[in-house]
Amino acid sequence: MNILGIQVLRGPNIWSINRKKLIQMRLDLGEMEQRPTNVIEGFGDRIAQLIPSLYTHRCSKGAPGGFLVRIKEGTWMGHVIEHIALEIQTLAGMDTGFGRTRQTKTEGIYNVVFSYIEEKAGVFAAEAAVRIAEALINNVDYDLEADIQRMRELREMERLGPSTGSIVDEAISRDIPWIRLNKSSLVQLGYGKNQVRFRATMTERTNSIAVDIACNKDETKRMLQDSAIPVAKGVTISEVEDLPAAINKVGFPMVFKPLNGNHGKGASINVQTEKAAFAAFEYAKTFSRKVIIERFITGYDFRVLVIDHKMVAAALRVPAHVKGNNQLTIQELIDKENEDPKRGYGHENVLTEIGVDRDTLDLLAKKGYTLETVPANGEVVYLKSTANLSTGGTSIDVTDLVHPQNIFICERISRVIGLDICGIDIMAENLTQPLPENGGVVLEVNAAPGFRMHLAPSEGLPRNVAAPVIDMLYPPGKSARIPIIAVTGTNGKTTTTRLIAHIVKSNGTRVGFTTSDGIYVQNTMLMKGDTTGPISSEFILRDPTVEFAVLETARGGILRSGLGFNQCDIGVVTNIQEDHLGISDIHTLDDLTRVKAVVIGSVKRSGWAVLNADNKYCLKIAANANCNVAWFSMDENNPVVAEHSKKGGIAAVYENGYITVKKGDWKIRVEKVSHIPLTFGGSLDFMTQNVLAATLATFLWGYKIEDIRMSLETFIPSAAQTPGRMNIFRFKEFKILVDFAHNADGFNGIKTYLQSIEATEHVGVICATGDRRDEDIKETARISAQMFDRIMICQEKYLRGSNQQDLIDLLLAGIAEVKPDMEVTINNNGEDCLKYLIATAKSGSYITILSGTIDNAVQRVSEYLDKELGV
């Protein structure tokens, strides 16, 4: 078996609108296409023995063990690999269960699709599943545990931490979109101007001065002490020569910790001798230039969490420990404790596995113990000097036990330091009595406190501490989203996108939009190129200046990665025509419809699908739409529109020379088509369709008819406004039209336009696109032969894996079918081609450059025109 490719889908896609995170593996089964599982001797027994948990997979049988039954009855290896990939992820702590396996049009080649939790682990699972299947087929041993451990490691490297993850999960539950901004914990909630950012448990509201104060433990202690808040007695030193004086001032037992430390790193507690003090000082110095020395306070370690100056949770933290039984050594007790299903690798479970480090060995040495010591029955042996969960500690929720005065103290601390989210470490006998009464003290104030001890305590009630964070960042009435209109289809996407963006911009809203020629915010191009995929969409949605997004959404991006957004307000499908067929398993217009329908599937229920009533494939999309539907048509008597209007629906039609919006039986005339520059005086039906789509979409959003009318009148087709779309350059003796028409439907649109143009000679410049079907290439050539008097072929680019001469031959063959004696010139150098055209142009001729034949044709032709005009 051979993996032909692995794609990571991150947004709504052709397999599922709701399950956004999918791996799609293109797999060639090779000889296994002829060998289903029931003819592979012993395969069923071996897979059940290697991965017994596969018994839980119900498969199409609908009952536990169903998948194993399918194996015995006989199923294809792609199906088996799908289930293996899902199960090994689950075994690695990433429980997921959606899968699909479908054969492509090529025999033996399958798309194996399954969900993932963490991207790199999902890709690894795909590759590992194939290796596992091959080992089972060949009856050879396989180290499954090594793969599972590797996936755990990948998961921990990639996943969000428990605190960050909890905030993201809470945002998702409230339908707030999110974007991960780096490989660690920097996250954006919301889109555009309504975004907020946070990193771990620090938000964009977190005061940087407050963070500096909290990170400087000495400064924190001074400010708390000045505010009459009880703190531990101590000093800060940086040189070992100052240590004896510090010992005399503070007195044993002592605590050493780095001034700028966190998570308990570099700390030593209950230091009782001068020798131990010097060792603790040197250890702390490895983490910070300055070291805090405090009196060791006896009592219990508490953490109080304050968010938005309100106490939301409190926990008793217990350092990692084992309890003796008079039989096992300390190492054996650690190993046994780590077998607890609550403990896991990294953050995969409620508790973290206990590891042995210098801190552990030092604590044992103070008791005269080693890892081989056998503790007495019931003896508690502490293994860490701090109670951090990341080092194996446990937590007990005590939120409901905190005395009101202690709540007041903690909330006041958050304001004294100035933190919107803070974790306050307290050492006290309990929190049920006021700290001044029981001698408790505040040890530290943490600027980025961990949430895990509150989210999943070892004992007590879990607290959803992420909820108050979202409450703070998005108070009632604040939206997290910006309006999104997504535009897809075969032809007209870019022009429709630009026109919608123009209408939005003209009404005083800062718009960001993506097109096949670049990414724009307002009038500024920020990135040049074909920017119609999910990365470009996310670029706009990340921009904090954008108030409204209009996103051209092409087939390629949907197939490669899915959509770059999880939901839009309005989805527009301009039309579905023959183009890009034969690529990426898209062979028919029904296949292409399935791809374009992903955009409509992402429209929110209260949103709108704007569809072309003159296109039968759009009718199929409407049948499965889970949102409101509005139609546009070049014929007001279109039966779909007529029936829709009878039911009170909304549509846009071309009638009696007008762009008209219909609401039920009422007609609202927007503008005469001949007054809309984009339609070239009403001569271009395909441009009129684009106007209908844009008018309807913006009307549905809520723009007034008069504002839409004004925008339509001011949208001038030009190299600046609509680059590569009906750009006409008027030289003194001839004219040049540059248009990106690249398929039969687009060529026919140009043909209709040219029929209304009087010229002494029509000259066409065409090329083929290498990844199109032969018949599609020949059809564009046939149409070219019908509309031009002579043709120049410039096959400079767009080879896309094909042979240049083969493409030229296809064009020549198509031309010859219509006009065998037609004059055809071949020049595969774009610059030379353009020079020749201009030098040989006859007076009154009309030159049409199509398909992006000449690179940067708009700019190059503009330069020639400027020279002629002396600019």
Cα separation, 491 vs 740, whole angstroms:
10
Helix H, strand E, coil C: the string for 514-573 is: ECCCEEEECCEEEEECCCCCHHHHHHHHHCCCCCEEEEECCHHHHHHHCCCCCCEEEEEE
Residues belonging to the chain:
871
In this structure, what DSSP letter does residue 677 have? G
Pick from 471, 465, 354, 459: nearest CA to 401: 459
Type of residue found at 307: I
Q: Is 743:579 a contact under the CB 8 Å cutoff?
A: yes
Q: Could you give the C-alpha distances from 35 to 32, 76, 132, in angstroms and in order? A: 5, 8, 17
Cα separation, 277 vs 288, whole angstroms:
16
Other beta carbons within 10 Å of 656: 11
pLDDT along the chain (871 residues), means of 10: 96 92 96 95 96 93 91 96 97 94 94 96 98 97 96 93 95 96 94 97 96 91 94 89 92 88 78 92 91 88 97 95 93 91 74 88 90 93 84 92 98 97 96 94 93 92 97 96 97 95 97 96 93 96 98 95 96 92 87 96 97 97 97 97 96 97 95 96 94 98 97 91 89 92 90 92 92 90 95 87 90 94 92 91 94 82 86 65
Q: Could you give the C-alpha distances from 722 to 518, 539, 555, 717, in angstroms and in order? A: 12, 21, 21, 5
Q: Could you give the C-alpha distances from 720 to 108, 574, 577, 712, in angstroms and in order? A: 49, 23, 27, 16
pLDDT at position 871, please? 65
Cα separation, 129 vs 131, whole angstroms:
5
Q: What burial letters (b/e) apply to 72-88, b meaning 16+ CB within 10 Å? A: eeebbbbbbbbbbbbbb
Q: Is 764:806 a contact under the CB 8 Å cutoff?
A: no
Q: Could you give the C-alpha distances from 785 to 406, 757, 838, in angstroms and in order? A: 87, 16, 21
Give CB contacts under 8 A, 24+ apart, made by 855-860.
855/796, 855/797, 855/830, 857/724, 857/738, 857/830, 858/719, 858/723, 858/724, 858/727, 858/738, 859/719, 860/830, 860/831, 860/834
Strand intervals (E) in 162-299:
178-180, 186-189, 196-199, 202-203, 234-237, 254-258, 268-271, 291-295
Pick from 468, 392, 387: nearest CA to 203: 468
pLDDT at position 263, please? 64
pLDDT at position 415, please? 97
Cα separation, 766 vs 783, whole angstroms:
11
Q: Is 19:98 a contact under the CB 8 Å cutoff?
A: yes
